[in-house]
């Protein structure tokens, strides 16, 4: 197994897969090999089916099942070079609407963040539509404060994109990066280097609690709110798609269901 996992890790690195994807793929491949050996299933198709069914029985999400299937497919096609087709369809994903925070809720969350550095990080997450990983990896060279533009390098899917910076954060950003090297991270830890995503998510949850916002929101909800509020302001969905870096406009159109003005204008008959 160790030889297969080492070879998998090497091929994933050569294909420039992200560290998170590499970690997930090796985990599921290790699980799959262990499962098929334990059950004594030698037929490949049967082994994969039983492996995925076991995940379903244990209540794992369709997204997790699909990721596990992708990992196993990668094992056979790219690592073992097995030409036999894996005839399995992906699990149907649940279509949940994103958690969106109101302007008032976001203002309260920011106001209840005592630490100035984290307060600015939360503000940027909303104002620019950034993922938590994109905030912590932001470098000074990625900011064009005069032009009110931020460059997000090698985001999800290894894609670069450009987003907007708010006028009201210009001074805070200038003060934060004053005297630093352009290669430095915008938000450094107290010991130097970038902050962890865990620390930012933890601070967001703390601020959410202090603001008494009773929604199951996460840091990613700021990105959902960014998109929804832009659409509410009349921004064309294709511009929103570009700002978020979505490859498919259908991904962006989910926010039109949250902010559909025709539905909001309907009055209940009660």
Q: What is the per-residue pLDDT across 103-142, written as a single tens digit (0 to 9) for each?
A: 999 999 999 999 999 999 999 999 999 999 999 999 999 9
Where does 103-264 sit in CATH, by number? 1.10.443.10
State the Cα angle at 179 between 175 and 183, rounded to 5°. Answer: 105
Based on the residue annotation, tell me whether 58 is a catalytic residue of this protein: no
- Catalytic one among 117, 119, 139, 246? 246
pLDDT score for 92: 66
Do the domains 2-79 and 103-264 sit in the same CATH topology, yes or no?
Answer: no
pLDDT score for 97: 85
pLDDT score for 261: 64
Based on the residue annotation, tell me whether 56 is a catalytic residue of this protein: no
- Catalytic one among 55, 131, 139, 229? 131
Quote the tokens at residue 176: 């934060």
pTM of the entire predicted model: 0.74
Based on the residue annotation, tell me whether 255 is a catalytic residue of this protein: yes
Based on the residue annotation, tell me whether 220 is a catalytic residue of this protein: yes
Topology annotation, domain 2-79: DNA polymerase; domain 1 (1.10.150)
Task: Specify whether the CB–CB gap between 124 and 130 falls below 8 A.
Answer: yes
pLDDT score for 237: 92
- Catalytic one among 30, 156, 206, 210? 156
Average pLDDT over the chain reads: 90
Per-domain boundaries in the chain? 2-79, 103-264
**Strand, coil or helix: 242:** helix
């Amino acid at each position: 197994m160790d030889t297969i996992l080492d070879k998998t890790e090497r091929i994933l690195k050569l294909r420039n897969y992200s560290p998170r994807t590499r970690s997930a793929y090796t985990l599921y491949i290790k699980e799959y090999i262990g499962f098929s050996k334990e059950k004594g299933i030698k037929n490949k198709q049967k082994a994969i089916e039983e492996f995925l069914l076991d995940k379903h029985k244990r209540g794992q999400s369709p997204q997790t099942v699909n990721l596990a299937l992708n990992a196993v497919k990668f094992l056979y096609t790219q690592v073992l070079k097995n030409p036999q087709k894996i005839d399995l369809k992906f699990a149907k994903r649940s279509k949940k609407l994103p958690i969106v925070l109101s302007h008032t809720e976001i203002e309260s969350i920011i106001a209840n963040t005592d630490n100035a550095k984290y307060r600015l990080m939360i503000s940027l997450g909303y104002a620019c539509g950034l993922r938590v990983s994109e905030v912590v990896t932001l470098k000074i060279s990625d900011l064009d404060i005069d032009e009110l533009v931020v460059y997000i390098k090698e985001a999800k899917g290894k894609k670069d994109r450009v987003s907007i910076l708010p006028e009201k954060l210009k001074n805070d950003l200038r003060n934060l990066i004053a005297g630093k090297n352009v290669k430095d991270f915008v938000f450094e830890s107290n010991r130097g280097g970038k902050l962890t995503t865990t620390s930012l998510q933890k601070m967001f949850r703390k601020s959410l609690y202090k603001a008494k916002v009773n929604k199951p929101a996460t840091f990613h909800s700021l990105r959902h709110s960014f998109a929804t509020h832009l659409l509410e302001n009349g921004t064309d969905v294709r511009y929103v798609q570009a700002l978020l870096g979505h490859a498919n406009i259908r991904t962006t159109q989910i926010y039109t269901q949250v902010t559909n003005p025709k539905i909001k204008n309907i009055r209940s008959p009660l």
